[in-house]
Amino acid sequence: MNSTETETTFVTTIASTLALAMRADEHVIVLGEDVAEGGPYTATAGLSEEFGRERVRNTPISEGAVCGAAIGAAQAGLRPVVEIMYIDFITLALDQLVNQAAKAHFMSGGQLSVPLVLRTQGGASGRGAAQHSQSLEAWLTHIPGLKVVMPSCAADAAGLLLSAIADPNPVVFIENKSLYFKREQVPSAPESLPIGQARVRRSGNDLTIIATSRMVSESLRAAERLAGEGVDAEVIDLRTLLPLDTDAIGRSVSRTGRAVVAHEAVRIGGFGAELTAQIQELAFDFLLAPIQRVGAPFTPVPLSPPLEDAYRTGADDVYAAARFAIEWDQPESSPFASGSFPAGAAGS
């Protein structure tokens, strides 16, 4: 383990880790819109100065071609780290990612590989409205051949980014803009963290909270509040969504018998559904209460501040879900509406 730590931010850590990887391997290149200028969030600041504008390339606003070019470059032996400025824009590169990157190794019978990292960021904050705030990771977890990483803190981000760059597969590395500028302790010489390993951020015996990205810190806050009420909650930070660390999840829920899964994406069709489906198979005989899912309501992200605040999931939602799971004893009418399709959706 690293002895020395420095205080820095998530976004600075991304830049310094990219620099680390580029120094270690000349095949690592960075491309994306404005990356040579540091990008809108400074996640690539300083790279073009150190490594030049050939290895750190500004691209036109051509997400499809840029992602495709990164795939081609990867198949031809480079290790591209491509940045898609907002995960909302991954829609413009989805064919390249799903139909090309994820399948090349398979369809070529193992001849090709695509050592590609696609960095992007999502999440609702800063009133970005419906086209700059989404959490679309659930799609990507449905694609065999992709790996999907969602770090919740700078230290993990450093270690996972190093692994992602070293990985022979296409890895989608999803950051959350609202984590970018928090100050955190980070190892001054980060080492790679294995992809596919969840981490217990708080151990407990009464309830398991499984969270991703921003919802990890929210869940820890909820856990503290629960602790004050004598409920001892375990908080698992998934860190990787695909491959999924089912052992860690199964072990914990089999012990606690109660589970809450929490993410920022919409509840309907969110990744929490996969987690719930997995848990009820892994730990059915141990379950003391229905698994609770915390996710955003089934609407696009609204702009208006009170609406966006209401839309964003947080510690209170996790707390409420946990209480529901804890207090569950007899079959009762479940909070049905929360899971069903919005009014008027049934159509004509």
Residue of 33, 63, 137, 175 marked catalytic? 63
Q: Token pair 């929210």 is at which residue?
A: 218
Between 77 and 230, CB nearer to other proteins:
77
User: Which of 221, 232, 274, 320 touches other proteins by CB under 8 A?
Assistant: 274
Least distance in angstroms from the C-beta of 174 to other proteins: 14
Q: Determine, following the binding rule CB under 8 A, whether residue 264 of this chain makes contact with other proteins.
A: no
Residue of 33, 83, 105, 132 marked catalytic? 132
CB 105 within 8 A of CB 154: no
* CA–CA gap between residue 322 and residue 235 (Å, rounded): 12
Q: Map the footprint of other proteins across residues 173-202, applying CB under 8 A.
A: none
Between 38 and 159, CB nearer to other proteins:
38
Structure tokens that stand for 72 in this block:
């081609």
Q: Determine, following the binding rule CB under 8 A, whether residue 113 of this chain makes contact with other proteins.
A: yes
* CA–CA gap between residue 202 and residue 189 (Å, rounded): 25
* CA–CA gap between residue 197 and residue 118 (Å, rounded): 20
Q: Determine, following the binding rule CB under 8 A, whether residue 233 of this chain makes contact with other proteins.
A: no
Between 155 and 245, CB nearer to other proteins:
245
Q: Determine, following the binding rule CB under 8 A, whether residue 45 of this chain makes contact with other proteins.
A: no
User: Which of 9, 20, 46, 145 touches other proteins by CB under 8 A?
Assistant: 145
CB atoms within 10 A of CB 276: 18
Q: Please give the backbone phi and psi of residue 122, each rounded to the nearest 5 degrees, phi first.
A: -135, -165
Residues whose CB falls within 8 Å of the CB of residue 313, separated by 6 or more in sequence, listed in order: 215, 218, 262, 263, 264, 294, 295, 296
Least distance in angstroms from the C-beta of 1 to other proteins: 28
Q: Map the footprint of other proteins across residues 61-90, applying CB under 8 A.
A: 61-62, 64-78, 80, 88-89
Q: Token pair 């009820």 is at which residue?
A: 280
Residues whose CB falls within 8 Å of the CB of residue 3, separated by 6 or more in sequence, listed in order: none
Residues whose CB falls within 8 Å of the CB of residue 309, separated by 6 or more in sequence, listed in order: none
Q: Determine, following the binding rule CB under 8 A, whether residue 94 of this chain makes contact with other proteins.
A: yes
Q: Please give the backbone phi and psi of residue 299, each rounded to the nearest 5 degrees, phi first.
A: -140, 160
* CA–CA gap between residue 87 and residue 67 (Å, rounded): 13
Between 158 and 245, CB nearer to other proteins:
245
Active-site residue flag, 184: no
Active-site residue flag, 63: yes
Q: Map the footprint of other proteins across residues 151-170, applying CB under 8 A.
A: 168-169
Between 158 and 261, CB nearer to other proteins:
261
* CA–CA gap between residue 258 and residue 265 (Å, rounded): 22
Q: Which residues pair with 118 in a beta bridge?
A: 82, 172
Between 146 and 179, CB nearer to other proteins:
146
Between 186 and 211, CB nearer to other proteins:
211
CB 167 within 8 A of CB 202: no
Least distance in angstroms from the C-beta of 2 to other proteins: 29
Least distance in angstroms from the C-beta of 66 to other proteins: 8
Pairing of strands 171-176, 199-202: unpaired
Total number of residues that touch other proteins (CB under 8 A): 123
Q: Determine, following the binding rule CB under 8 A, whether residue 95 of this chain makes contact with other proteins.
A: yes
Q: Determine, following the binding rule CB under 8 A, whether residue 49 of this chain makes contact with other proteins.
A: no
Residues whose CB falls within 8 Å of the CB of residue 246, separated by 6 or more in sequence, listed in order: 278, 282
Q: Determine, following the binding rule CB under 8 A, whether residue 107 of this chain makes contact with other proteins.
A: yes
Site map for other proteins, 291-330, x if CB under 8 A? xxx---xxxx-xxxxxx--xx-------------------
Could you list the active site residues?
Answer: 63, 132
